[in-house]
Structure 1
């Protein structure tokens, strides 16, 4: 048995990728049997639950087995009080704290988000890491062996091939294109025309077709599309390539799920734009939109995908419950690079480089995610937009001329329009993170932003702030509609589903209610109470993947366990990992 290699350890630190990639397989069953046979303690990071939230909320059929595996994992370990949460969410912090345990091994997978972070950050550690694959379980003793076992990938040679695969063919309305499995798709209506190609409605109302212009399909692009289709991602709200398209035997494009709404850039474009599109929005709706964005990007990261070109025009928004990532064909998949980028959202470390000739890191993406967080919270404003500052935005970025202070002592350089009040009414923990990035040059992992924004949402939902201004999109301001729109997308209202309660991380069917069930052994393992109540949302949207109700992370009954402070669990409650 492959899992016998772990038999001599006293404890395991299990990465969430093990559940996602091997849930429902013989390998996962062997691992669970080993844990129970040897009475092992199992440790997880705070990211463990949050990553599972991101998986559930994508409503992707490919994750059914992973959801069931989480139920089995928690159902087996909780009754024996063997599941513990290490008080860490950042990767290196988690490893550092796990190393303090006796005879422990971290269990992860070869292409996991966790491994990618380790290889990028290159921390000095000596503890063992078990890398699971479909064929083996391999033990690496410390960082050096891990880096030897999983070498840094080189950019694909296809990135340097400038030939084109297309022939002189032209598709338009009424033409029939063929998918890779010989299905006929009719192009019924052209809905947009961009620099790379055209997007058409099809005879299947669920999908649209992107047809490239001549001189666009390179070997890199087609190879990437082929790989993306093979990944089978069908997440609600991620317009991922579903089928390759051919016309007269020539590659011409791909199909994707349809999205509705306006781009974030059109909606988050100052007070008038956001008020005209969503006049009834509150601050929690802005936060809901941000939570949805972060979940989708984290979900991509879990699949070894770096978005690369993160910007406000690459997502459509119908309501705070219906958001769609678009232009997915440019993302970086494995060693196939993202060839494009937007300077205002890209770390200055990459300026001037040819994006198609290198692989972006998650560290690079962390900067873009921070830009996205600020831009959404500030309704489209760039963090380095200032008054009385440098002549260009580029200069402001390079100098880190962030116009906000932690003590609100200087507001002279903050743009007019009420943005100073948005800053004042943000909670201190969020202000400190934003200040750390844009003034001090720090980086936070996307999962850290997600945890923080969830906590902010929980405070808004529970009315934790006394001042009612804290719940307004623009505190202290009284912006009114300047146009009779009032909707981000008024034609053909998308069908909505009745929101049901998701009572626990272990629910294999997220659209059906179940009894309250907490998948973690101690409320002390969760320093913040997260809720996913969508009742504050103004819109219903085409899909509601995130469900109302308790997600199982804050069940009060967990407080009752092991109050005698004895054993490993007692040490945990005393703050071993604080």
Structure 2
């Protein structure tokens, strides 16, 4: 496919979807050739790098081409100071920042997170937009033309069909089922049973089989499973359908990889459950678990998947390094909707709607991600759980009766048990985002939550807090596990990895030490590097003021670095005005920008 038309532009605004969907094939090679020939400047948002972290940490072999493509792009552009980062993960702020770059074109794919956010939020962009597809490209002169030509998808009509694809036959231990590619599997042991079906071990030790009860397999469910199997997702932490299963020629279920551990709901269920399941855990383990979860949901979003029914019982936890998403057969894939939802984790705007009757947007899932963030950080507590409040949780949610304040001036309605201290010891950025979400009704994108929690964990790991209470799961509280729990806890329990699973890198520095090939940022890695927030610093300007929280990290003396070099995050160097969650400074990076346009030096950081 010829994309020589890109030669007509001096500046390219690049979305990560080009790396993800075309990395490793001839289309990306052509793209790289155009950039090299024209010596163009490339602009990305901070979400570009964050999405790549999510992809790397899933360790799915089908993404090897994307990993190599990122390395190739960085290796070519970084030495030339041609890769620039706008320091915001918020889509609208990113678009506003790049809107006045002359002679530019935005490049993305139709199912990219950027394309979806543009259409959902109706963000204005007046420059050209290229939608790159496998066999062609589409060129639009501004966002209005793009919106009119590419409307939001309508729900697939198959979702409205209520027939069932069932057989009267009953599968059980000892029976043999057949996969879609005619492989025979024997059901060897039943391991669980639920409302929809049963899960069996099979004679293939790597896979388990989910066999549905009668009256469960609808045309929507089977069409969705067929699509999911064809996608080939093999992340170790996502129990994704791998093969369709038939019994006597009739659809009965699917295979998947087996998750390990207990549901989040059984572990993040207050102080007793937390300390009895993981008596050695610290705050950084809680943050690591949350990071692991958000990464997986963003990874699904990158595949045109909306989880839909996010809740604590839909994930298993073996350790903070081994988290598994389960019940994947209910997710929304393209225009095949997720027909279910959990009210307390669902945006109240969607309450009362038939979930099978519409296609959920990414912004619909933003609320659920925010719910997940609060629930994990507060060890299972709901953000609207209050003392002396309304009779029902629903009333509290509708009234936005969030009991926490930014200045800690009123703790009357915060539940007892130390949750007020958890709130006080969170980072200023997280506190602001949570308050804005649950009190003021503001929405943040999943990648913004990811960035904020990464920064929080880096502060914990880097011992940036002076008060030792900040590192406890329940600060200023003295909870102890039972004797039975202590006896069962194995040494090193905090960081155990499930058998057969790869240990997840906790930072890009870890990845660098393990393999420079798999880490496209290896050229600039340093022992002091913090990879989890704004890595761009203007050596000629002082850092922003420290957060106002009394539990803010200890200050440190910023160090300068040559332009374009990946440098550690400094206190306040998050491209904000100190409000913690509102992308101040117009989201612009703070690097000196290398050589070239002086305006560019002020507005953009080098990647």
TM-score for the superposition, normalised by structure 2: 0.86
Match of 1:408 in 2: 408
1:222 matched to which residue of 2? 222
Partner of 1:190: helix, strand, or coil?
strand
- Aligned match of 1:66: 66
CA 1:557–1:316 in 2, change beyond 3 Å: closer, same or farther? farther
The residue that corresponds to 1:541 in the other structure is none
The answer for the alignment partner of 1:8 in structure 2 is 8
Q: Which residue of 2 aligns with 1:111?
A: 111
Match of 2:399 in 1: 399
Aligned position for 1:534: none
Paired residue secondary structure (2:485): coil
Give 1:77-88 correspondences, 5 Å limit. 77-88=77-88
Q: How does 1:25-44 map to 2 (within 5 A)?
A: 25-44=25-44
8 Å CA contact 2:564, 2:594 repeated in 1: no
- Contact conserved, 2:272 with 2:481, CA < 8 A, in 1? yes
Alignment of 1:355-374 (within 5 A): 355-374=355-374
- C-alpha distance in 1 between matches for 2:563 and 2:289: 31
CA distance in 1, matches of 2:19, 2:209: 34
Please tell me whether the aligned partners of residues 389 and 413 of structure 2 are also in contact (alpha carbons under 8 angstroms).
yes
Give the direction of change, closer, same or farther, for the CA distance of 1:508–1:26 in structure 2 (3 Å limit). farther
Deviations 1:356-386 (A, max 9, x none): 1111111110000000000000000000000
Contact 1:347–1:368 (Cα < 8 Å) also in 2: yes
2:182 paired with 1:157: no
Counterpart selection for 2:602 from 561, 574, 578: 574
1:323-362 matches, within 5 Å, as: 323-362=323-362
TM-superposed deviation, 1:511: 8.8
C-alpha displacement of 1:518: 3.1
- After superposition, the C-alpha distances for 1:171-213 in whole angstroms (9 at most, x for unaligned) are 0001100000001111111011100000011111111100000
1:61-460 mapped onto 2 (5 Å cutoff):
61-460=61-460
8 Å Cα contact 1:502-1:511 kept in structure 2: no
Contact 2:511–2:518 under 8 Å retained in 1: no
SS at match of 2:368: helix
Matches of 1:421 and 1:498, distance apart in 2: 32
3-state DSSP class of the match of 2:134? coil
For residues 573 and 400 of structure 1, the distance between their equivalents in structure 2, rounded to whole angstroms, comes to 42
Q: Secondary structure at the match of 1:139?
A: strand
Q: How many Å apart are 1:494 and its aligned residue?
A: 2.7
The Cα shift of 1:429 comes to 1.2
Whether the aligned pair in 2 keeps the contact of 1:200 and 1:210 (CA below 8 Å) is yes
Partner of residue 499, structure 2: 494
* Alpha-carbon separation, structure 2, partners of 1:525 and 1:424: 25
1-structure distance, mates of 2:88, 2:272: 41
Deviation at 1:510, TM superposition (A): 7.3
* Distance in 2 (alpha carbons) for counterparts of 1:297 and 1:331: 11
Secondary structure of 1:237 counterpart: coil
Residues 563 and 570 of structure 1 are in contact (CA less than 8 Å); yes or no, is this contact kept in structure 2?
A: no
**Contact 1:72-1:506 within 8 A present in 2 as well:** no
Alpha carbons 1:130, 1:139 under 8 Å: kept: yes
Name the SS of the counterpart of 1:42 in structure 2: strand
Cα RMSD between the aligned structures?
Answer: 2.9
Gap change, CA 1:103 and 1:507, over 3 Å in 2: farther
Identify the residue that residue 473 of structure 2 maps to in structure 1: 473
What is the distance in 2 between the residues matched to 1:446 and 1:492? 26
**Alignment coverage as a number of residue pairs:** 553
Shift of residue 142, structure 1, vs aligned partner: 1.2
SS at 2:523's partner residue? coil
Distance (whole Å) between structure 2 residues aligned to residue 450 and residue 347 of structure 1: 19
Q: Does 1:528 align with 2:556?
A: no
Distance 1:45 1:355 in 2: 32
How far does residue 56 in structure 1 lie from its aligned partner after superposition?
A: 0.4
Task: Quote the offset at 1:30 in angstroms.
Answer: 1.1
**Equivalents in 2 of 1:293, 1:37: separation in Å?**
41
User: Structure 2 vs 1, CA of residues 187 and 557 (structure 1 numbering), >3 Å: closer, same or farther?
Assistant: farther
* Deviation by residue 1:257-283 (Cα, 9 ceiling, x = unmatched): 010000000000000001000000000
Q: Specify whether residues 394 and 92 from structure 1 end up closer, same or farther in structure 2 by C-alpha distance, changes over 3 A only.
A: same
Q: CA deviation at 1:216?
A: 0.3
Q: Deviations over 1:40-79 (max 9, x none)?
A: 1111110111000000000001101111111111111122
Structure 2 Cα separation of the partners of residues 560 and 169 of structure 1: 64
Q: Deviations over 1:389-424 (max 9, x none)?
A: 111000000000000000000000000000000001
Contact 1:307-1:331 within 8 A present in 2 as well: yes
Partners of 1:271 and 1:379 within 8 A in 2: yes
3-state secondary structure, aligned to 1:469: helix
Deviation at 1:147, TM superposition (A): 1.3
The separation in 2 between residues aligned to 1:157 and 1:297, in whole angstroms, is: 26
Other-structure match for 1:518? 524
Report the secondary structure of 1:223's partner residue: helix
Instruction: Note if contact 1:276-1:485 (Cα within 8 Å) is conserved in structure 2.
Output: yes
Corresponding residue SS for 1:568? coil
Q: Is the 8 A contact 2:177 2:185 kept in 1?
A: yes
CA positional deviation for 1:496: 6.4
Q: Tell me if structure 1 keeps the 8 A contact 2:190–2:198.
A: yes
Give the whole-Å Cα distance in 2 for the aligned partners of 1:482 and 1:133. 57
Query: Structure 1 residues 45, 559: closer, same or farther in 2, change over 3 A?
Result: closer
| Distance 1:188-1:76 versus aligned 2 partners, 3 A rule | same
Measure, in 1, the Cα distance between the counterparts of 2:286 and 2:387.
25
8 Å Cα contact 2:81-2:594 kept in structure 1: no
Structure 1 residues 572 and 238 mapped into 2: Cα distance closer, same or farther (>3 Å)? same
Structure 2 unaligned segments of length 5 or more: list them. 537-558, 567-589
> What secondary structure, in the 3-state scheme, does the structure 2 residue paired with 1:411 have?
coil
Q: Say if 2:591 and 2:605, in contact at 8 Å, map to a contact too.
A: no
Per-residue deviation at 1:124? 2.1
Counterpart of 1:352 in 2: which secondary structure? Answer: coil
**Is the CA contact 2:155–2:357 (under 8 Å) kept in the aligned structure 1?**
yes
State the alpha-carbon separation in 2 of the partners of residues 118 and 512 from structure 1: 31
